[in-house]
Amino acid sequence: MKLIFERSQAGRRGSAIPNAGLPVPEVPEELRRRKPPRLPEVAEPEIVRHFTALADRTFGVDTGFYPLGSCTMKHNPRVNERVVSLPGFRDLHPLQEEEGAQGALELMWRLQEILAEVCGLDAVSLQPAAGSQGELTGLMLMRAYFADRGEADQRRTVITADTAHGTNPASVTMAGFNLQKVETDARGNLDLDDLRAKVGEETAGLMLTNPSTLGLFDEHIEEVAAIFHDAGALLYYDGANLNAVCGISRPGDMGFDIVHINLHKTFSQPHGGGGPGGGPIVVRDLLEPFLPVPAVVRKDDDFALDYDRPKSIGKVRGYTGPFGVFVRSYAFIRAYGPALRLMSEAAVLNANYMLARLRDAYELPFDRLCMHEFVLSARNLKREHGITALDVAKRLMDFGFHPPTIYFPLIVAEALMIEPTETEPKETLDAFCDAMLEIAREARDDASVLKEAPHSRPVRRLDEVKAAKRAIVRYRFGDHPDLAGEPSKGEAVEVQKGA
């Protein structure tokens, strides 16, 4: 497919606007262009075709099944787009004074109340714009809490699981803590012996996803919480997998003190391609004084922004957070009402249905009922036929599916992490399982068809490391460096996708 610049023909225009004879403003000499900008010159029908062709090549949850484990790619109800477009929400300026923004503040306050209830905790800040920013904010709260108790120099270590998402260790390091990893036991839980050996007076806290990135609920979570609390440490809940437990079990009841919620996953904010997202944090009352300012508060029948929090860690994002995300999530949650647990129950049921259909064709590293997602391994296909998780993922594209997350969590060789979500019908789950079973059969009978997949996409196998590290994002007008022969640092690397 040609680039828009390669379609350019000198003198072509997208549209013709009559010259209204308006005065030409005086631009100071030193600010004037020496040459006209080198914009593509393309007629309107060609522009439309160009961008439509590009859009046709994009795969999203609106075009097909997208079981990208840990990313919760669920359907985003369109009514939420109507609601967020209501002029009172859409046209509100972030600096509007409180009297003129009561509806927006009330919505934020109500969303806070709901999130606190869902988590079984006490106070909320909606500010962080992503799960990862929620993580950093939560760890900054942890630091502020221990500093306030005079334990900042002592409590230097945060423990994460060896199944943790990459953002967990990154956030720990960014927040200035030392990182320690705890191992997973044979049933997919945190290894309690390893944990006990690592928790001590220097421990600030634990960071854990529950259910974990293996799709397994930790069977000893209360014991884990006791180990940390007995040592005077705190527990942080990475809420990326909250879709499994809403209305069923609450992080606060499990013993967690700080939670982030990925609104763009559990509460249906269209995501992918970098945003927009929402990563509110929810905390136990002992951490409330440290939350970012401003806090959205209720004063009798009015709603206000409270900056008077002397122990606050300060602001972590401009204004009060990603407001459009709040409106969509609020609308989504209110549409369920008290039946919110149906969402999680259906997500868990769908995942277990698929697991039951696929468990004989692929290896199951931890043989347990799963939560809202599950992790299989293509280890058996690799051992017997030389077929890897990457080959399976690429072949799935030929069947019209987005691949699952692969090579994550890192402790499972040839991992395939599948998350169907609650919004997919049984026919779609069956069609995906049929494709996975067919791929396992192909591995046995016709492995070359897998090695060369995908066969039906505009591009085949890419050097994904080079594509990420040497992305060319601007047109160079005839100056096209030939990168073909350039060595790629990651030639032997199978790149982790998703999560």
Ligand X SMILES: Cc1ncc(COP(=O)(O)O)c(C=O)c1O
Judged by CB, which is closer to ligand X: 271, or 385?
271
Residue 137 C-beta: closest distance to ligand X, Å: 12
Q: How many residues bind ligand X (CB under 6 A)?
A: 15
- Rule CB under 6 A: choose which of 112, 189, 262, 312 binds ligand X: 262
Is 132 a binder of ligand X (CB under 6 A)? yes
Q: Are 297 and 275 in contact (CB under 8 A)?
A: no
User: Under the criterion CB under 6 A, does residue 74 sit at the interface with ligand X?
Assistant: no
Nearer to ligand X, 189 or 262 (CB): 262
C-alpha pair distances (Å), 265 with each of 75, 281, 300, 319, 376: 10, 14, 33, 23, 22
277 interacts with ligand X by CB under 6 A = yes
Min separation Cβ 278 and ligand X, Å: 8
By C-beta, is 252 or 278 nearer to ligand X? 278
CA–CA dist 378, 432 (Å, integer): 16
Q: List, as own/partner pairs, every contact residues 308-311 make where C-beta atoms lie below 8 angstroms and the sequence separation is at least 24, other chains included.
A: 311/144, 311/148
Contacting ligand X (CB under 6 A), which of 165, 328, 385, 497?
165
Among 279, 294, 321, 420, binds ligand X (CB under 6 A): 279
Cα first-last separation, the chain: 30
* Residue 4, number of CB atoms within 10 A of its CB: 15
Q: How far is the CB of 70 from ligand X (least distance, A)?
A: 4
Out of 240, 244, 281, 376, the residue judged to bind ligand X by CB under 6 A:
240
Is 105 or 417 the residue whose CB approaches ligand X more closely?
Answer: 417
Per residue in 435-461, is it b (16+ CB within 10 Å) or e — as a string? bbeebbebbeeebeebbebbeeeeeee
Q: Which of 238, 391, 414, 424 binds ligand X (CB under 6 A)?
A: 238
DSSP letters for 280-337: -EEE-GGGGGGSPSSEEEEETTEEEEE---TT----SSSTTS-HHHHHHHHHHHHHHG
Least distance between ligand X and beta carbon 314 (Å): 20
- Do β-strands 281-283 and 123-125 pair in parallel, antiparallel, or remain unpaired? antiparallel
The answer to whether the CB of 82 falls within 8 A of the CB of 335 is: no
131 lies in the site for ligand X, by CB under 6 A: yes
Q: Which is nearer to ligand X, 168 or 440 (CB)?
A: 168
Q: How far is the CB of 2 from ligand X (least distance, A)?
A: 34
Least Å distance between CB 6 and ligand X? 35
Binders of ligand X in range 286-325 (CB under 6 A): none
Tokens encoding 151 = 């334990």
Determine, following the binding rule CB under 6 A, whether residue 329 of this chain makes contact with ligand X: no
**Ramachandran area for residue 455 (φ above 0: left; ψ -120 to 50: alpha; else beta):** alpha
Question: Quick one: which segment of 16-24, 126-134, 471-479, 487-495 binds ligand X (CB under 6 A)?
Answer: 126-134
We find the least distance from the C-beta atom of residue 167 to ligand X, in angstroms, to be 4
Q: How far is the CB of 408 from ligand X (least distance, A)?
A: 9
Of these, 123, 126, 130, 216, which contacts ligand X (CB under 6 A)?
Answer: 130
* 71 binds ligand X, rule: CB under 6 A: yes
Which residues have CB under 8 Å from 259's CB, separation 6+? Answer: 119, 121, 138, 236, 237, 239, 251, 252, 281, 282, 283
**x-or-dash string of contact with ligand X, 198-217, rule CB under 6 A:** -----------x---x----
- Sort strands 295-299 and 281-283 into parallel, antiparallel or unpaired: unpaired
Which residue of 76, 137, 167, 350 would you call a contact of ligand X, by CB under 6 A? Answer: 167
229 neighbors 201 (Cβ within 8 angstroms): no
**Cβ closest to ligand X, residue 101 vs residue 207:** 207
d(CA 265, CA 280): 12
Q: Which stretch binds ligand X (CB under 6 A): 129-137, 186-194, 385-393, 409-417?
A: 129-137
C-beta of 142: minimal distance to ligand X in Å? 16
Tokens found for residue 397: 């594209």
Closest CA to 390 of 374, 370, 373, 413: 413
Q: CB nearer to ligand X: give 136 or 361.
A: 136
| Residue number with CB closer to ligand X (207 or 361) | 207
Nearer to ligand X, 135 or 442 (CB): 135
- Token representation of residue 61: 């949850």
d(Cα 28, Cα 51) in Å, to the nearest integer? 37
Structure tokens at 153: 């120099």
Which stretches of the chain bind ligand X, using CB under 6 A? 70-71, 130-132, 165, 167, 209, 213, 238, 240, 262, 277, 279, 499
